[in-house]
Amino acid sequence: MGRTIYLVRHGRLQAADDQKRFVGQIDLPLSRQGIEQAENIRRYFTGNKLDVYCSDLARSRQTAEHIVEGTGWALRTRTDFREISVGLWEGKTFAEIALTYPEEFEERGEDIEHYCPPQGESFQECSTRVVAAFQEIVEMSGGDIAIVGHAGVNRLLLCYLLGMPVRNLFRLGQDYGCINIITYAKQQYRVETMNLSLETGFNI
């Protein structure tokens, strides 16, 4: 009998402005809209029985806590599901980094898979840790599971499941509060749905 694995992206963040920033392991909470998105996810899962895992960063943990509220489902936090670390670039805008680290910023664009920001990690390194955590969870659990992660983490897992090179991760959309649905049977994964937005794809 097959199992279902749900990869969930946390809800929208509480941010000071709308500028595009490097947000990796900064511990930002959910915004009001993000909380509403987490509630939509909880309602979507009504009637299911899930083991829920999440990153220990606040935005992921808060989303997962809303999902399991009143269900009695187990919630387990994992540091290895944290978003990619961008080191000294954390919290800086793309414009700031392009100005302060012009050569490094260009190098990252040319080799998104292997470039490692100062004191951070590359997407390939991040992939190694999140895929290992994913495999461990699938092997140790027996039923359906939900993993509440981050945009980068989910893209890397989807690359692994689809057999895509890490360098192509940004070809995959991951909106705030989205759900990806994977079935697992006979040691084979099948990606059934990607980037399902409950604000447009779910009638509540």
Q: Which residues contact 156 (CB under 8 A, 6 or more apart)?
A: 123, 126, 127, 130, 131, 166, 169
Please indicate, yes or no, if residue 112 is contained in any of the structural domains: no
Please indicate, yes or no, if residue 153 is contained in any of the structural domains: yes
Length of the chain: 204
Residue 18 has pLDDT above 90, yes or no: no
Residue 16 pLDDT level (bands cut at 50, 70, 90): low
Please indicate, yes or no, if residue 102 is contained in any of the structural domains: no
Residue 82 has pLDDT above 90, yes or no: yes
Instruction: Give the Cα separation of 178 and 200 in Å (integer).
Output: 10
Domain that holds residue 166: 3-17+28-85+121-201
Please indicate, yes or no, if residue 101 is contained in any of the structural domains: no
The helix or strand, by DSSP H or E, that contains position 95, with its residue range, turns out to be helix 94-100
- 84 close to 123: Cβ distance less than 8 angstroms: yes
- DSSP-assigned beta bridge partners for residue 3: 184
Please indicate, yes or no, if residue 96 is contained in any of the structural domains: no
pLDDT digits over 172-187, tens only? 999 999 999 999 998 9
pTM given for the model: 0.93
Summarize the confidence of residues 158-168 as an average pLDDT: 98
> Would you state the pLDDT for residue 184?
96
Number of domains comprising the chain: 1
Summarize the confidence of residues 22-39 as an average pLDDT: 92
- Domain CATH code at residue 61: 3.40.50.1240
Instruction: Give the Cα separation of 72 and 51 in Å (integer).
Output: 10
Percentage of the chain modeled with pLDDT above 70: 97
Summarize the confidence of residues 26-55 as an average pLDDT: 95
Q: Which residues contact 108 (CB under 8 A, 6 or more apart)?
A: 115, 117
Please indicate, yes or no, if residue 113 is contained in any of the structural domains: no
Residue 186: CB atoms within 10 A of its CB come to 5
> Would you state the pLDDT for residue 198?
86
> Would you state the pLDDT for residue 203?
41
Taken in order 184, 196, 198, 58, is the CA torsion positive or negative? positive
pLDDT digits over 88-107, tens only? 999 999 999 999 999 999 99
Please indicate, yes or no, if residue 106 is contained in any of the structural domains: no
Q: Mean pLDDT score of the chain, rounded to an integer?
A: 93
Among 9-23, 98-112, 124-138, name the one with the lowest average pLDDT.
9-23
Rg (CA), the chain: 17
Please indicate, yes or no, if residue 108 is contained in any of the structural domains: no
Summarize the confidence of residues 128-157 as an average pLDDT: 97
